[in-house]
Amino acid sequence: MAKKNLHPEWHRETKVYCNGELVMEVGSTQPELMVDIWSGNHPFFTGSQKVVDTEGRIDRFNRRYSKEK
């Protein structure tokens, strides 16, 4: 026989908040979810990825391995 009350309660309309703003509704075992990153503000999905070159490594690599010598 299956145990009673084994599975958590399922919420069909869980509200997902990012930075205090409602961003979507999903199904979850929690009534509300607070997230820091979601697809609407993640650099991979928004196309705003930037390469951070803090020590000139890219320039050094290009100088070392460039075909122009």
Task: Specify the amino acid at residue 28.
Answer: S
Per the CB < 8 A criterion, the answer to whether 14 and 34 are in contact is no
What does the alpha-carbon distance between residue 11 and residue 34 come to, in Å, rounded to a whole number?
15
Q: What is the SS3 assignment for the chain?
A: CCCCCCCCCCEEEEEEEECCEEEEEEEECCCEEEECCCCCCCHHHHCCCCCCCCCCHHHHHHHHHCCCC
Please indicate, yes or no, whether the overall pTM of this predicted structure exceeds 0.85: no
Residue range 6-64, pLDDT digits in tens: 889 999 999 999 989 999 999 999 999 999 888 888 777 777 766 666 677 878 888 88
